[in-house]
Structure formats: C-alpha cells, structure tokens
Structure 1
Amino acid sequence: MLFPVSGVECSAALPVAAAFCISFLTSMGGVSGAFLLLPFQINVLGYVHPGVSATNQVFNIVACPSGVWRYWREGRLLGPLTLLMALGTLPGVFAGAFIRVTLLPEASRFALFAAMVLLYMAGRLLFDVWHPRRLRKPRTGAAGTAAPCRVLHFGVREFVFASGEETFRVSCRAVSLLSLVVGLVGGIYGIGGGAIMVPFLISFFGLPVHAVSGASLFCTFLTSIAGVCFYSLLAPFWPALEVRPDWLLGLLFGVGGMGGMYLGARCQKFVSARMLKYLLAAILLFTAVRCLGQAL
C-alpha cells in the first residue's frame, strides 16, 4: 500500500500492529508512545520529512481518547493537573512547531540535546527506584489496588489531591513552567510530551505514577490537536519540506494505538509503581539511544 503524502509503501497492517504494541507498553506509564513511533517511521518506514511530526500527532488524536476514558472511568483523571499541563504546553507546542519547520528541518542538533535530557530523566528515575528511602511509602495497597484520586483543593498557587490514604501538594506555577518547556520539545518532535512530563512529575514532584498517567494522556490529546492544526497552517508556506501530516498513515497508527492504550490503561493498576518506573526508564533510554543515532 502506498501512502502518497509521506511516500511510504508498506502493508496497512504494519502501522496498526506497531502502534498497538508500542501503545500498550507506554500507556501504562501515562505515555502515548508517539516518541517511539517517530524513530520507527524514520528508520523503518523511511519517512524523513518534517510532516512526520504532524503525523505522530494525528496518531495521538486518534489513540489517546481510549486510554483517557479508561482512566476517567476508574476515577484516576486529575482535572486540575490536566488543566495546568495544557495551559503551559499549548504555547510551547506552537513555538516548537515553528522551530521544527524553520530552524530544525532535520533536527540533528536538537536530537543530541533531547538525548541528553532523556538520559538524565532515565537516570533520575532509576536513582529513585534504587534508593527507596527517597520515595514516598505507598499506602494504597498492592499493585492491583491503584486508588481513585480526589481533588481536595485547587487554587492559584497549588492544588491538593488524595490518592488512597496519602495527600499530595502540587505547585501550580512549577507545573505550568515545566509544561511550557515540555510543549516546546513536543512541538518540535511531534510528541505530546508525556514521555518527558511524567518522569518529572514522578521524580521531582513526588507524585504517584498511577495518578498522573490519565492527566498526561489527556494533555497529550489536547496539545496534539493544536499541533496538527498549526502544522497544517504552516504547510502552504513551506511546500518543498512536506510539512502537512499524512492523515491516512496517522489514522492507521491511531487505530492500533487506540486498542493498545485502552488495554494498557486497564492493565496499569495490576502493575506496581516500581515496575512502571523501570518501564519508563527503559523507554527513555531506548529513545535517547535512537536520538543519538540520528544526531551522530
């Protein structure tokens, strides 16, 4: 099957299967998997135009709602956290998309920078796992009893929520500033930013992975809509770069991702937070190596 926008020629089953496998694993950590689809499209499918970033975001738009819906049904979708992340991320997404098209059409220099950031976050996660005295002691029971989240207070400076018997306080300003940086990175590479945001929320804010995953996926969905719209608006001004998304390829990725994210969100509560951190660290390390390979 030929995809005329991207120039990719492959079986229609390949993007569906790849997205399903990737999304099943990554959605348990609150990550859509778009950042793994990027090297897959570049290295396996040979899709190297800037439009690959927008195509990744099409995947997010189609795939994320199933995982978000599952987290919402289980009472693990934090509205205030989603709002703060979205407000900070959206301006960064627009700026990132513009930088991707104008300054980094090949993104080799930024790939090196992103690899360093991802390596640092993976190391931070592993350090927290290997030094349990730095971590909060879980009070929500066994791995299969991830408790619903309850918002206790939401103000200008902070919001407070409870997960099981434990209470968490989050600085609204810190989350918004972090989201702005994450949105910039996500806009350039066509990812929702969950791969970057979730490790920071876990490591620096001390939040439980079972509580932040739903908000991360929902924010990824919202920012991906904005990113695809902005890339589509930029496309007529850079016709030689093929900036527009490949909708057909993105939809096939999304169909596979939809099933993978739903099953991943449903299975997450049966996996311990420690194992999820190992999973996130492994994903980050893998992506960092891929970024280094693209940069060198």
Structure 2
Amino acid sequence: MFDFLTYTFPISGVTTNILIPPLVAFIVSFFTSMGGVSGAFLLLPFQVSALNYTSPGVSGTNFIFNVVAIPSGVYRYHKEKRIPWPLAWVIMIGTVPGIIIGYYIRIKILPDPKSFKFFVGLVLLYIGVRLFFDVLKKKKATAQKKFDQKLTKEATVKTISFSLKKTVYEFWGERFSFSTIWVFLLAFVIGVIGGAYGIGGGAIMSPFLVTFFKLPVHSIAGACLMGTATASVFGVLYYAILPSPEGMQTSPDWLLGLLFGLGGAFGIYLGARVQKHVPQKYIKLILSILIVYVALRYIIQFFY
C-alpha cells in the first residue's frame, strides 16, 4: 500500500519505508530522554538488526541522529534551568578525546558485525543490570522520595561551588556533589566506548552518575544530553573525514541519520518536557528493561 514510500539509501544500502526511521526514533527518544539518554543506544541495534546496516558507517549515522535530535531536549532543560553546567562541561571535555580512540577501535578491532554486537551487548548488559538493581534497592528517607513527592513543583539547578576537586550544586532544596576529576576520567573512558558504539556516551554516563555518584536523574539528564551532543559532533567528523581501510564503508549515511534525527528531535523535546512529572524510579526501570533486553539478544547471537 505504501510501496511508493520505500527508498534505498545509496550510502548504506538500507531499503525501508522513509517513515519508519523518524517514527521509531520518536518513540524511543521520548522515553529514553527522560533519563538523559538520546536513544541512540537502541537505534543502533535497530539499524543493525532490522535494517541490516552492519558496516562501521552505522556508528557515524548514529552520531548524526544525536546531533540533529538532542538540541531540542537541551533547549527544554535549559529553559527550565535544569542543567548543572559544571557537570555538562566536565562531561563534554572528558568525552571528546575518547571518541577518536573509539573510532579506531571500531574500524581496527571490531569491524565484524557479530563481534561488534557482542561487544555492544556486554556494555549494555552491565549498564542495564546495574540500573535495575539500583531501582530495587530499599532506601530510607532519601532525596529520591522527596523528589517523587515534589514532581509538580518548580525544579531548578543552582551551582554552589566548582573546582577540580569537587563540584556542589543544589536541586529541589537538596545539595549534591561529585568528584570533578573522577567524572572527567569516567567521561574519557565512556568516550572511548561511545566512539566505537556510536552513541556519544550518554547511555553509559547517565546510569553511572545515578548509581555510583548518587545524583538525581531529574537533575543530570540535560547535562548528559549536552555531553552526548558535543561528542557526537566530533564523532560525525571522525567517521566522515578520517581515512578508513580499503573496501570498508565508514562514512555515515547522512540522509538516514537526518530522518532518525528529525523524529528524535520531537521525541526528546516531549520527553524533556514531561520528565519532571515522572518518578525517577519508573524512568530508571524503563531504561534498565530496555537495555537488558537488547544486551541479551546481542550476547546470545554471538554463540550461534
């Protein structure tokens, strides 16, 4: 019925209905953006498995999605004054150098689709399980419970102090802090992984900040998206400009990435808008289930 909308993208060779990429991106991004994640970590498996886009260029295409989609969500979080900018800057400065290392890992060590999917599965499984058990933990009178009781009230971030040793900010009447240097080092490592995966790192950074640094998801989402967007700009450039092995398609599919990005832009904006009305335990639960599901599929396929 809609055969006239079927199109073959010349760079990637993907053949699909042109409405599918933006629709899938919209749905995925709406839910994941609430946790500070663009949704690229789920769109890459969709491209590999459903669209059969298995060359290294799929990572660069994922970066294009981030570049196009994320600014709408960042704008929304910034408008509501819910971005801790010191955290955002530390993530950005730490992640970008790691992206180029991840690029070379992707084309030199993990060019085979089966091995790459196994690598992706291991990374996602750790994130998903760690996040899931964090949801199940019984906590006393914590800031999380207070946030869940104040979801309809004004939520803004106020920086108290910022130094190389420690950063402190205030959110919903509570003070939170993190080691600046440790977050920077974490961002660098995540940049390496994200560069190989094509996600910018937000899907890994957000769960780490929530589970290990005990920062509320409602306050870190905007910073993680900002870091992902910045890293993705460099990721696109690396995959588009840097030399690749002969016969290997590493250049991103610009049109396909743009279609994913347009759908994601609307999804991320709406997700950012409703996020403060959703208890963070539900946000983390949704993310953990999605992540573990994709991870198990990718790990299992490696052995068959």
TM class by smaller structure: over 0.9
Q: Which residue of 1 aligns with 2:195?
A: 187
Q: Given residue 232 of structure 2, which amino acid in structure 1 is its aligned partner?
A: S
Q: Given residue 273 of structure 2, which amino acid in structure 1 is its aligned partner?
A: R
1:276 matched to 2:287: no
Q: Distance in 2 between matches of 1:283 and 1:146?
A: 29
TM-score for both structures, normalised by structure 2? 0.92
**Aligned-pair CA distance for 1:175:** 0.4
Answer whether contact 1:88 1:179 (CA < 8 A) is retained: yes
Q: Given residue 181 of structure 1, which amino acid in structure 2 is its aligned partner?
A: V
Answer whether contact 2:156 2:172 (CA < 8 A) is retained: yes
Q: Distance in 1 between matches of 2:234 and 2:65?
A: 13
- The verdict on how the C-alpha distance between 1:233 and 1:194 changes in structure 2, with shifts beyond 3 A counting, is same
Residue from 230, 236, 248 that aligns with 2:238? 230
Moved more, 111-120 or 165-174: 111-120
**Residues 193-208 of structure 1 aligned to structure 2 (within 5 Å):** 193-208=201-216
- The verdict on how the C-alpha distance between 1:288 and 1:244 changes in structure 2, with shifts beyond 3 A counting, is same
1:48 matched to 2:54: yes
Q: Which residue of 1 aligns with 2:4?
A: none
Q: Report how many residues are paired.
A: 295
**Which SS does the other structure have where 1:27 is aligned?**
helix
- The verdict on how the C-alpha distance between 1:132 and 1:157 changes in structure 2, with shifts beyond 3 A counting, is same
Q: Distance in 2 between matches of 1:200 and 1:70?
A: 23
Residue from 125, 136, 141 that aligns with 1:130? 136
- The verdict on how the C-alpha distance between 1:238 and 1:113 changes in structure 2, with shifts beyond 3 A counting, is closer
Q: Given residue 179 of structure 2, which amino acid in structure 1 is its aligned partner?
A: S
Moved more, 98-107 or 7-16: 98-107
Answer whether contact 1:128 1:135 (CA < 8 A) is retained: no
Answer whether contact 1:92 1:181 (CA < 8 A) is retained: yes
Q: Which residue of 2 aligns with 1:71?
A: 77
Q: Which residue of 2 aligns with 1:247?
A: 254
**Aligned-pair CA distance for 1:293:** 4.0
**Aligned-pair CA distance for 1:135:** 7.9
**Which SS does the other structure have where 1:200 is aligned?**
helix
**Aligned-pair CA distance for 1:192:** 1.5
Answer whether contact 2:81 2:157 (CA < 8 A) is retained: yes
Query: Cα RMSD over matched residues?
Result: 1.6
**Which SS does the other structure have where 1:151 is aligned?**
strand
Q: Given residue 205 of structure 1, which amino acid in structure 2 is its aligned partner?
A: F
- The verdict on how the C-alpha distance between 1:5 and 1:117 changes in structure 2, with shifts beyond 3 A counting, is closer
Residue from 3, 9, 12 that aligns with 1:6? 12
Moved more, 207-216 or 285-294: 285-294
Q: Which residue of 2 aligns with 1:261?
A: 268
1:188-246 deviation digits (Å, cap 9, x = unpaired): 01002111111110010000000110001111100000011011122x44341110000
**Which SS does the other structure have where 1:240 is aligned?**
coil
Q: Given residue 204 of structure 1, which amino acid in structure 2 is its aligned partner?
A: F
Answer whether contact 1:144 1:272 (CA < 8 A) is retained: no
